[in-house]
């Protein structure tokens, strides 16, 4: 694990492209999210296929190729400073290999990296941006996601990260954070949904190792046995060998917390690294924005992640 290239922070008037790489986007929620961005003095532009729905599969936001083209066009547009995902759901794995990554690398070399924001199904794109573009990404609230629209804390932490990232350099867990394994660990942040990280194994451009990484994990709607399966797959594949620390986020609709705590101790405790639960990122109210690809220190006892440098330059 090495630190990745940091995009520039946003400034008032910055143009922000909104894409839908996964599930279909409710128009009313999209408009509400755009209004929030405009209130931040950003200039959001919606890519052509954001409001599409796949002709056969209603769980997809349009055709795979169209979703891939929207992402490419947004990233390669020199006037765009950031690319925000509208929502998660499912669909990134269907389109990620249709993206012209060579064109996106060329655009990155020419103009530098842009801010890329999303979470949930977007985990697969966080991984792709890390391995194929070498750029820092933001795991945080999405433009048309209900938890973003309704929660001022999620909005404010994202806004701070985007505009004054040095003020968000110490990320403090929200709520009832508790060390499952105490101690401090240094490394480079990475992670996302457990189920998506497991699904990435063996795919084109997949990360070969998370050695030296501070692993941030969360998920939604995965029962304990399915989380067990995904974690076991990551362990068996050797991806977690050398991970230096673990922060556990939200586990919405994943079952009783005591059962999940026992599962994490069983599957991850053997790594012998500091591990903190209920950190407050992912599918939860007031979700924190966590950058991936930035070096820092996790203090499991204090419930803090302190970045060596701001997430954005």
Give the residue numbers annotated as catalytic, written as ranges.
120, 218, 283
Question: 220: Cβ–Cβ under 8 A, 6 or more apart, which residues?
Answer: 120, 193, 250, 251, 252, 253, 254, 282, 283
SS3 275: strand
Q: How far apart are CA 129 and CA 137, in angstroms?
A: 7
Q: How far apart are CA 14 and CA 21, in angstroms?
A: 22
Which of 139, 136, 87 lies closest to 113, judged by CA? 136
| First-last CA distance in the chain | 20
Under the phi-then-psi rule, with left for phi > 0, alpha for psi from -120 to 50, and beta for the rest, what region is 278?
left
Q: Are 104 and 72 in contact (CB under 8 A)?
A: yes
Q: How far apart are CA 234 and CA 255, in angstroms?
A: 21
The answer to whether the Cα torsion of 264, 266, 269, 270 is positive or negative is negative
* Torsion from C-alpha of 2, 15, 172, 180, nearest 10 degrees: -50
Residue listed under structure tokens 């249709």: 98
Quick one: DSSP state of residue 59?
T
- C-alpha distances out from residue 250 to 122, 128, 260, Å: 16, 23, 11
Question: Which tokens sit at 194?
Answer: 């457990």
In the chain, % helix, strand, coil (3-state, to 5) comes to 35, 20, 40
């Amino acid at each position: 694990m090495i630190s990745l290239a940091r995009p520039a922070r946003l400034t008032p008037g910055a143009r922000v492209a909104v894409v839908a790489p996964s599930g279909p986007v409710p128009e009313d929620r999209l408009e509400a999210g755009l209004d929030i961005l405009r209130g931040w003095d950003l200039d959001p532009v919606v890519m052509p296929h954001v409001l599409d729905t796949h002709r056969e599969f209603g769980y997809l936001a349009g055709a795979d190729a169209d979703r891939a083209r929207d992402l490419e066009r947004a990233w390669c547009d020199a006037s765009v400073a950031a690319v925000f995902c509208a929502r998660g759901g499912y669909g990134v794995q269907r389109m990620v290999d249709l993206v012209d990554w060579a064109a996106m690398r060329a655009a990155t070399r020419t103009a530098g990296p842009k801010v890329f924001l999303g979470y949930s199904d977007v985990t697969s794109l966080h991984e792709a941006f890390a391995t194929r573009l070498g750029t820092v990404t933001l795991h945080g609230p999405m433009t048309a996601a209900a938890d973003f629209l309704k929660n001022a804390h999620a909005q404010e932490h994202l806004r701070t990260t985007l505009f004054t990232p040095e003020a968000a350099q110490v990320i403090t867990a929200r709520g009832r954070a508790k060390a499952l394994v105490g101690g401090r660990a240094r490394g480079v942040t990475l992670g996302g949904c457990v189920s998506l990280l497991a699904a990435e194994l063996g795919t084109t451009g997949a990360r070969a190792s998370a050695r030296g990484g501070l692993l941030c994990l969360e998920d939604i709607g995965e029962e304990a046995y399915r989380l067990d399966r995904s974690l076991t797959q990551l362990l068996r594949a050797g991806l977690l060998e050398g991970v230096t620390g673990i922060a556990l986020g939200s586990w919405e609709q994943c079952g009783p917390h005591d059962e999940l705590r026992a599962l994490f101790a069983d599957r991850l405790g053997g790594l012998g690294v500091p591990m903190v639960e209920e950190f407050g990122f992912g599918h939860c109210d007031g979700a924190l924005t966590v950058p991936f690809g930035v070096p820092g220190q996790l203090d499991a006892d204090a419930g803090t992640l302190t970045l060596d440098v701001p997430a954005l330059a």
